[in-house]
Amino acid sequence: MTETIDFHPLAASVQPVFTTVLDRSPHEPEFHQAVHEVLHSIAPVLEEHPEYVEGGILERLVEPERQIMFRVPWVDDAGRLQVNRGYRIQFSSVLGPYKGGLRFHPSVNLSIIKFLGFEQIFKNALTGQGIGGGKGGSDFDPHGRSDAEVMRFCQSFMNELYRHLGEHTDVPAGDIGVGGREIGYLFGQYRKVTNRHESGMFTGKGTGWGGAEVRTEATGYGAVFFAQEMLAVHNESFEGKRVGISGSGNVAIYAIEKATQLGATAVTASDSSGYVVDDAGIDLALLRQLKEVERARIVEYANRRPSARFVENGSVWDVPVDIAIPSATQNEVSAAEAQTLIANGVRAVSEGANMPCVPEAVDAFQKAGVLFAPGKAANAGGVATSALEMSQNASRQRWSFADSENKLREIMGDIHDAAFRAAERYGTPGDYVAGANIAGFERVANAMLAQGVI
């Protein structure tokens, strides 16, 4: 994204807030994009609820409670000094401790972490659980780094961040580039520097040391459950459908698994080097071996699977599918790619990633009558299951896989219904973008009003 985004004008009740955001936080295009979408959706709510305007809810909501940026020095295997930048944006604690993942990717900057933290406020509110919104990360790139280098980086990162975390303060989890390996190193260093085995200060932990069953699977499974709910409203299902998925990380792998279990054929996976098409259905065991164990590039999948082909230069969205689950990164589905998906007959799009579809793509899907689930709702299963992990840590209980998956399914159903009803209440039936923003906003705004000006 660039600064040349042409944002359409907003209602008079919200435009001044957006103008302030543009002035106060210039050069943060992803953050502007996320704020613009929410302000657009909630303008009708403000007309019915002047108390939100009088209470200055919006002016406060768009400004993070706290922004932390820090130096992360570490030494690589060749003995060279490396310096990265660390971030933690503690956006809103009105509903509970700050909660949101850590992203390690070279593209990470303040704008990206702020957009993710802002989205997280409403997503977490939608889950109905007691969790605030935050996000963090670093421009560190784990690709091609040895385990020892990743460990030294994680330890240095936590040497600074630990003082801002805690089970009642701020509870991180994984995101792009932060999986089981990184969480282990980060948790270990927190334990060392604080002298506390504080299980509830991090979620996504290994199931052998405080992690919850289904947390690893939750975001991908949840994005499929949400799509299942949308389809069910129209008496449709995953059975016999072709599903297109981008990415080949945590979210993508488990979206593929659940879609396949529901009788669909998942035909694509990708990474930043290209994509694979496998009309026989993605072989999950092979994909997991390559991505979770060997940390290989996606071309290797096609090298080892006769039914698959690798495409280096092209778009994964050129492949005709009935259901699309973008699960890689923000702004990965352009307006042109949305048009291709529509022309190829896509029926539903469920955002596994955060904000993967550009605004024009979202508009195109909605105008074409494609069922569209925004990430805020569709990928909330991850953080919802993180909250279940926090509950289990606090009560020192362990739930079974089946119980945890049933709870996740129930939560995704509730999120779907909350978004669906909110959209209907405000006269935009079937608009899950508006519905999710409104349902999340109402819960946050009411809590802010009740707790006074802080």
- Give the residues lining the site for ligand NDP (CB under 6 A): 105, 107, 174-177, 179, 219, 247-252, 271-273, 327-329, 352-354, 379, 382
- CA 180 to chain centroid, in Å, comes to 17
- Written as one letter, the residue type at 128 is G
> Which residues are within 8 A (CB) of 332 and not within 5 positions of it... i.e. 6 or more apart?
246, 326, 353, 356, 357
Tell me the closest approach of the beta carbon of residue 449 to ligand NDP, in angstroms: 28
> Which residues are within 8 A (CB) of 232 and not within 5 positions of it... i.e. 6 or more apart?
none
Distance CA 289, CA 224 (A): 22
* CA torsion through residues 349, 353, 355, 357, sign: negative
Closer residue to ligand NDP, CB minimum distance, 229 or 445 = 229
> Which residues are within 8 A (CB) of 368 and not within 5 positions of it... i.e. 6 or more apart?
342
Place of tokens 């999950």: 284
Backbone angles phi, psi at 265, to 5 degrees: -115, 115
Closer residue to ligand NDP, CB minimum distance, 379 or 392 = 379
Q: How many CA atoms, within 13 angstroms, populate the side-chain half-sphere of residue 181?
A: 19
What would the two tokens of residue 186 be?
């980060």
CB atoms within 10 A of CB 88: 27
Closer residue to ligand NDP, CB minimum distance, 42 or 328 = 328
> Minimal CB distance to ligand NDP: which residue?
249
Q: Which residue of the set 135, 205, 258, 376 is catalytic?
A: 135
Closer residue to ligand NDP, CB minimum distance, 151 or 218 = 218
- Ranges of H-type helices in 327-374: 335-343, 359-367
Place of tokens 């660039």: 2
Annotated active-site residue 135? The verdict is yes
Tell me the closest approach of the beta carbon of residue 352 to ligand NDP, in angstroms: 6
Closer residue to ligand NDP, CB minimum distance, 18 or 221 = 221
Tell me the closest approach of the beta carbon of residue 423 to ligand NDP, in angstroms: 22
Tell me the closest approach of the beta carbon of residue 46 to ligand NDP, in angstroms: 28
Closer residue to ligand NDP, CB minimum distance, 298 or 448 = 298
What would the two tokens of residue 414 be?
């509730």
CB atoms within 10 A of CB 310: 18
Catalytic residues: 135
